[in-house]
Amino acid sequence: MSEKKITIRLETKDDYRNVENLTRESFWNVYRPGCMEHYVLHCYRDDPAFVPELAFVMELDGELIGQVIYVRSEIDCDDGRKLPIMTFGPICIAPAYKRQGYGKQLLDYSMEKAGEMGAGALAITGNILFYGKSGFVPAKTKGVRYADDPEADYFLIRELTPGFLDGVSGTYKDPEGYFVCEKDPEAFAQYEAAFPPKQKLKLPGQLF
């Protein structure tokens, strides 16, 4: 059989609903009963910190199987400087295609583009078993502490410009846009109600 064709391209307005549904399917019951990431993504497109040049979708023979978005963020340096960096996410792969290398391919491609756009470093809270394969290390080893949990091993960073973090000491806060569900639960509930019903389950390994 011939190899299936992978395409990574920028998302368009016509993709929005499908991308949000994919995100919902992929995150559902993974970190909490249900999920919020599809609404975070939905709202981020109108946020000034959103980077439309780095909002990618991945297709396998034309089928949407992955997405990632990037957001401008910053390190609050102990010397008072604000060092602009980027974060990303939600990033996801459709449930049927997880653990087949597609997530790494999408991440690595998008990070290359983020580097070309001038991002010096990327920060993310996530699983080192996945992100470590793409060059991320615990941020505290580079002098950057997660404001909510300074010793966190799951707060990760990767330089895109070698030496970008040399001499840096500071803290990082998740950008405000990641908290839209907590800020306006009613708007989230209304948005969620327009999707097909899915069962929320409490499962082992969930974080919340």
Q: Residues 206, 32: contact at Cβ < 8 Å?
A: yes
Contacts to ligand COA from residues 118-137, by CB under 6 A: 126-127, 129-130, 133
Does 18 interact with ligand COA (rule: CB under 6 A)? no
Tell me the residue number closest to ligand COA, measured at CB: 103
Does 175 interact with ligand COA (rule: CB under 6 A)? no
Tell me how crowded residue 179 is: count the other CB atoms within 10 A of its CB. 12
**155-159 and 137-138 beta bridge pairing:** antiparallel
E strand or H helix at 7, and its extent? strand 6-10
Q: Which is nearer to ligand COA, 103 or 170 (CB)?
A: 103
Number of residues that bind ligand COA (CB under 6 A): 19
Does 30 interact with ligand COA (rule: CB under 6 A)? yes
Q: Residues 8, 58: contact at Cβ < 8 Å?
A: yes
Letters for 87-116 (x = contact with ligand COA by CB under 6 A, - = none) are: --x-xxx----xxxxxxx------------
Minimum gap (Å) between residue 167 Cβ and ligand COA: 28
- Give CB contacts under 8 A, 24+ apart, made by 104-112: 104/130, 104/133, 104/134, 105/6, 105/8, 105/58, 106/8, 106/56, 106/58, 106/66, 106/68, 107/68, 107/131, 107/134, 108/134, 109/8, 109/56, 110/8, 110/54, 110/56, 110/68, 110/70, 111/158, 111/160
Q: Which is nearer to ligand COA, 30 or 64 (CB)?
A: 30
Does 27 interact with ligand COA (rule: CB under 6 A)? yes
Q: How far is residue 145's CA from residue 143's CA, in Å, rounded to a whole number?
A: 7
Does 86 interact with ligand COA (rule: CB under 6 A)? no
Does 43 interact with ligand COA (rule: CB under 6 A)? no
Q: Which is nearer to ligand COA, 190 or 203 (CB)?
A: 203
Q: Which is nearer to ligand COA, 81 or 133 (CB)?
A: 133
Where do contacts with ligand COA occur on this chain (CB under 6 A)?
26-27, 30, 89, 91-93, 98-104, 126-127, 129-130, 133
